[in-house]
Structure formats: C-alpha cells, structure tokens
Amino acid sequence: MLIAPDCFGDSLTAVQAADAIARGWCASRPGDDVRRAPQSDGGPGFVDVLAGRLGEIRTSTVSGPLDADVEARWVLDPDPPVTAYLECAQACGLALLDGPPTVHTALEAHSRGVGQLIAEACAAGAGRIVVGLGGSGCTDGGRALVEALGGLSAARELLDGVELIAASDVEHPLLGPMGAAAVFGPQKGADPDTVTILEQRLTAWADQLDAAAGRRVSDQPGAGAAGGIGAALLALGGRRESGASIVAEHTGLSGDVAAADLVITGEGRFDDQSLHGKVVSALAAAAQARGIPVLVLAGQVTLSASELAGAGIAAAHSVTDHAGSVRTAIEDAANQLEGLAAEVAAGWDSSGRSEE
C-alpha cells in the first residue's frame, strides 16, 4: 500500500498526513505492507518532503509576510550541481500571518523573505536554486523578493549563471481574470475592491518585469503562482517546472507506484483543480497506466462519481464527512484522518473495491 498524500492546507503537512493515514490503515489491516511517500507540488511541505531524501536542512532567519522575522527551513544538497531547495511558504506563507487573512494582510503581505532565502542560497554556493511556489499570503508579484536582492538589475546579475527553477503546477498568468489577484486574492483576504487594487499594482510591476526580461514573462503559465512570485522568478532568468514532478523524481515515486497494489493519496480539498497538474492527478495517471487502483482521502471532496472514474480514481472519501463538521476536521485533523483511513481500510477488499 503506497501512501503518498500532499499537505492538507494548514492543518497537516504531507508527512503528518502520510503518518496519520498509515496509522489508521494499519489499525484495520495490520498485515498490509505500507510504504509512506509524502508528496508536494511546491506548496507548503515542499522542503519537509525533500529533507528526508537529500541534502542537509538549514534554517535562516528572514522577514515574514508582515515584517516580523520567521525561521525558514531550506535544504542544501551538496552533490554537484550544489542545489538549494527553498519554499516560499516558509517565508511568506498564509500560516505565518497574524491570524486569518484579512483585507489588511492582503494588501500588506510581501515576499521579502523569499528574496532573503535566495541570497542565502547564493552565499552558500548553490549553482541551482529550486523555489517551491504555493501557499503564499502575499500578492506582490515578487516585488519585495526582487527588492531584497537589490532590484531587478542587481538580482539578475547575482543570479547570472545560477539555474533558477520555479517549482509549481499552477498555470495561471500574472494578470487578468485568471491571474494572481483575481483567482487567489480572495483566498488571501482580498475583497473585490482589494482585488482591483492588487491588480493595478501587479499591472504596473508587470511592465518592469517584462522590460527587464526582454519578453512578456507576465503572460507565461505559472507567472501568477504564489501571488506572482512566479513572474519575478521568470524575469530573473528562471524557468518553471512541475513541483510535483520534481518531488516525485527525488522520492522515487515511479518505482513505488509500480510496486504498489493500491495507491492512497489526498489533500485538503479535492476538487476540479486537483485534476489539473496537482499531486493527486499525477499519481492517478501513473497508477491508472499500470492498472493500480487509487483511493483519495481529502479534507473535502466536491467531485462526482463520474469525474472520479474519468480520472482513474476508485473512490474519494471526505474527512469532513467522517468528522461531522469542517471545524472538527480542521481542529482535530490528524485524528480524524487516521479514523477515516481505518474506516476505509476496513471496507477495502483485494479485488479493488471500496465499500461506501
């Protein structure tokens, strides 16, 4: 049984989710051979997932999204080329705000700490820097990140010769109705008026990014990732790669899937976005190609049975339904996920069916 979840929002890291599912599954089926392989698409948990597989963990004190300093973990892999793995959520994540996101935090949160992490990685001799994007509390287009590196010209000079990778499965551009402000701003506390302000700021900043890069990086897929940090990284000479694919490569996911009789994955909210480049969809595609059933355990599930079948997923189960309320599912996340896993395991049979 391969247990390979993403994080569950701010409730559980991918590592914690994998442990909870494994405990619950083994409680009902102690004879099963369970392997944990927590995953990430570049969002929260990106560093923790990789830390168990390669390099050394480092901790740097950097500016948080609202200026107060935070301790940000990152990984430095000394094997050539020396590679630093950074996670924007460690420096400007939603979880680092002073409580739930508000209009104020939507306007004030920034990415300065991510720029400071990039500077630390350069100082450590990294010739390759991979920045996991996702879970940010800011929508500044990476402006504060660039300012922390001395501005666009200085940042491009610092990173000249460094392979810079934006690890993200988000395909949104920086601007417009599918851009960073319009799509992700409301999740970060922005009301309609605030979204308009953020869009205006990003539009002015996009002109500078495009001019520095000599091309319209603001229109590229992934430019809107992490509140527009993706656009800044592209303007600094970076390229976008699938965060889920990067993690899958370093965790040996392909081999694990091939050896599995059942793949169990999950995330905080399993909806239509999950089927487009996210950890769950990548796992389902790999398993489906080998005829291996996939179960999804998620905080909430909004997909229909036909949508699940079309994605090659045997069944999806909701922690919220198991817990009886969203509040309990969030506040008691590990125990509720463990209980759901035990319940699903008790109803699973070797023919590949999961009893409802």
What is this structure's pTM?
Answer: 0.88
A 10 A CB-CB count for 277 gives 20
CATH number at residue 258: 3.40.50.10350
What pLDDT is recorded for position 275?
A: 73
User: Are 125 and 192 found together in one domain?
Assistant: yes
Alpha helices in the chain (DSSP H): 14-28, 46-51, 88-92, 103-108, 112-123, 143-148, 152-158, 192-213, 225-235, 243-250, 253-259, 279-289, 305-310, 319-323, 326-331, 333-346
pLDDT-based confidence at 65, cuts 50/70/90?
very high
User: Are 204 and 270 found together in one domain?
Assistant: no
Average pLDDT, the chain: 93
Name the residue type at position 29: R
- Per-residue pLDDT for 336 more than 80? yes
Q: Which of 215, 244, 273 is the last residue of a domain?
A: 244
- Per-residue pLDDT for 354 more than 60? no
User: Are 71 and 171 found together in one domain?
Assistant: yes
Query: Over the stretch 106-141, which tens digit does the pLDDT of each residue have?
Result: 999 999 999 999 999 999 999 999 999 989 999 999
Q: Which residue in 299, 303, 307 sits closest to 267, CA to CA?
A: 299
Give every CB contact of residue 264 below 8 A, 6+ residues apart in sequence: 1, 2, 3, 4, 5, 21, 25, 294, 295, 296, 297, 341
- Per-residue pLDDT for 352 more than 50? no
- Per-residue pLDDT for 17 more than 50? yes
Query: Over the stretch 258-282, which tens digit does the pLDDT of each residue have?
Result: 999 999 999 998 887 777 667 888 8
CATH number at residue 77: 3.90.1510.10
User: Are 279 and 134 found together in one domain?
Assistant: no
Whole-angstrom Cα distance, residue 77 to residue 81? 8
User: Are 276 and 238 found together in one domain?
Assistant: no
User: Are 232 and 269 found together in one domain?
Assistant: no
User: Are 113 and 240 found together in one domain?
Assistant: yes
Q: How large is the average pLDDT for residues 245-264?
A: 91
User: Are 341 and 300 found together in one domain?
Assistant: yes
What pLDDT is recorded for position 350?
A: 56
User: Are 164 and 271 found together in one domain?
Assistant: no
Give the DSSP letter of residue 12. Answer: B
- Per-residue pLDDT for 355 more than 50? no
Give the residue carrying structure tokens 């699903």: 344
**Domain boundaries, position 160:** 46-244
User: Are 163 and 59 found together in one domain?
Assistant: yes
pLDDT-based confidence at 53, cuts 50/70/90?
confident
Into how many domains does the chain fold?
Answer: 2
Q: Which residue in 314, 263, 236 sits closest to 37, CA to CA?
A: 263
Note whether 117 and 149 are within 8 A (CB): no
User: Are 309 and 238 found together in one domain?
Assistant: no
Whole-angstrom Cα distance, residue 291 to residue 223? 35
Q: Which of 244, 262, 292 is the last residue of a domain?
A: 244
Q: Which of 196, 216, 244 is the last residue of a domain?
A: 244
User: Are 168 and 193 found together in one domain?
Assistant: yes
Q: Which residue in 138, 141, 159 sits closest to 91, CA to CA?
A: 138
Whole-angstrom Cα distance, residue 154 to residue 158? 6
